[in-house]
Amino acid sequence: MAISLLAQATVPVSYGYMQWDVTNHIEDALYNGLSNVDFLVKFHDEALTSRLNFRGKDYASNQPILAIDGVNIAANKDTMMAETLPTTNYGSSTSVELNSPIKERNVISFPLTGVSSVTSATLNLYYFYGSNAAGKIVSVYKLTRSDWEEFQSTWNIYKTGSSWTAAGGDYTDVSNIPTGTPVTFNADLLRQVAVIETINTDTYRKTSIDQTFSADALRKVVTGVSQLFNIDTLRQVIKGETVSVDAKRSVILSEIISVDTVRKLLYGSIGGRIIYCKVNDSIGLDLSVTDTLTLSLKVAD
């Protein structure tokens, strides 16, 4: 099942901060190497008659907050978009409004400077006015464009001369982070894959079903970047029949690295599990032919 990028909260009776769990959104942004995380906020059911207002980032108090593992991050741009005024920009407004069925939506962005991982994250928006809003569901999605301009974007465009794919903002509720069931591999075969200085294409061919090798797939395994990958990706790495040893070396950070370094990248030391395939300073494993390694698709606690 795909990782959801739909966060929801019910509008309370009393004014104050509303919160959405956006942990998956941050994981998605980090996985895709984004420097900001961008949200689109709207009433979930835009057929109902409702209105509410949030404080914007330029208001004197109660500004939007993205809390990641106890650290509060301020928004670096926000605006609203109005269906009935499709060419009007609201970037200078100190508040943003949601409305339906006359649609008004909010887009907001937060920088991820210094953020390399996430355990828990919440989006906090201060609700200070509402009409027929209590009890309604407000949904937060991933805004799929990060290059929108705060003082240019409208219902029709994300910046001057560039239209949204769909008027009202481009968004999704599904992440592209691969998911799947953890699978085990024979340790001896995995060791052969790691020792790229002596491996040949015939050995790769014997370790896997026929798949097409992808340089990007190998990069995900060995560069140390925290990324998830599924069984198909690993099969592509193990295959590699159309790529020479020198080419494989060049994929790995464009330099020749030692066998021990590759082992550290591939072999985890936490209960014999490969965790995100990132650099581990101590291998801690004495593998034999009968050993198995488990490919974990989530970071262990």
Q: Does this model's pTM top 0.85?
A: no
Regarding whether 236 and 154 lie in a shared domain, the answer is no
Q: pLDDT tens-digit profile of 210-251?
A: 333 344 444 444 444 433 444 444 444 444 433 334 433 333
pLDDT value at residue 3? 87
pLDDT value at residue 200? 41
Domain membership of residue 178 (yes or no) is: no
pLDDT value at residue 74? 98
Out of 3-7, 38-42, 236-240, 295-299, the most confident range is 38-42
pLDDT value at residue 113? 95
Domain membership of residue 288 (yes or no) is: yes
Domain membership of residue 77 (yes or no) is: yes
Regarding whether 197 and 58 lie in a shared domain, the answer is no
φ/ψ of residue 188, rounded to 5? -65, -40
Question: Would you state the structure tokens that stand for residue 256, as one six-digit string?
Answer: 């020749």
Regarding whether 253 and 156 lie in a shared domain, the answer is no
- Which 3-state string (H, E, C) describes 68-103? ECCEEEECCEEEEEECCCCCCCCCCCCEEEEEECCC
pLDDT value at residue 109? 98
Statement: residue 209 has pLDDT above 80: no
The domain boundary, picked from 137, 172, 207, lies at: 172
The domain boundary, picked from 133, 149, 172, lies at: 172
When divided into structural domains, the chain yields a total of 2
Regarding whether 145 and 14 lie in a shared domain, the answer is yes
Q: pLDDT tens-digit profile of 65-114?
A: 999 999 999 999 999 999 999 999 999 999 999 999 999 999 999 999 99
Regarding whether 188 and 158 lie in a shared domain, the answer is no
Regarding whether 166 and 209 lie in a shared domain, the answer is no
Domain membership of residue 46 (yes or no) is: yes
Domain hosting 202: range is 183-296
Between CA 128 and CA 245 the distance in angstroms is 62
What's the rounded mean pLDDT across residues 194-222?
42
Q: How confident is the model at residue 180 (pLDDT cuts 50, 70, 90)?
A: low
Asked which of 26-30, 184-188, 229-233, 276-280 is least confident by mean pLDDT, the reply is: 276-280
Beta carbons of 171 and 142 less than 8 angstroms apart? yes
Asked which of 167-176, 181-190, 254-263, 273-282 is least confident by mean pLDDT, the reply is: 273-282
Domain membership of residue 94 (yes or no) is: yes
Domain membership of residue 18 (yes or no) is: yes
The domain boundary, picked from 172, 199, 222, lies at: 172
pLDDT value at residue 213? 39
- In the numeric block, the tokens 């301009």 are attached to 149
Q: How long is the chain?
A: 301
Question: Would you state the structure tokens that stand for residue 221, as one six-digit string?
Answer: 């395994």
Regarding whether 138 and 24 lie in a shared domain, the answer is yes
Regarding whether 188 and 160 lie in a shared domain, the answer is no
Regarding whether 51 and 134 lie in a shared domain, the answer is yes
Q: How confident is the model at residue 176 (pLDDT cuts 50, 70, 90)?
A: confident
Domain membership of residue 301 (yes or no) is: no
Regarding whether 194 and 159 lie in a shared domain, the answer is no
Between CA 44 and CA 282 the distance in angstroms is 48
Q: How confident is the model at residue 181 (pLDDT cuts 50, 70, 90)?
A: low
Statement: residue 293 has pLDDT above 90: no
Q: Which residue has the higher pLDDT, 40 or 285?
A: 40
Q: Which residue has the higher pLDDT, 63 or 238?
A: 63
Regarding whether 147 and 18 lie in a shared domain, the answer is yes
Regarding whether 261 and 213 lie in a shared domain, the answer is yes
Closest CA to 213 of 248, 247, 237: 237
Question: Residue 8: which residues within 8 A CB-CB, separation 6 or more?
Answer: 20, 44, 137, 138, 139, 140
> How many percent of the chain have pLDDT more than 70?
59
Domain membership of residue 2 (yes or no) is: no
Between CA 167 and CA 143 the distance in angstroms is 13
Question: Residue 68: which residues within 8 A CB-CB, separation 6 or more?
Answer: 26, 115, 118, 120, 121
pLDDT value at residue 2? 75
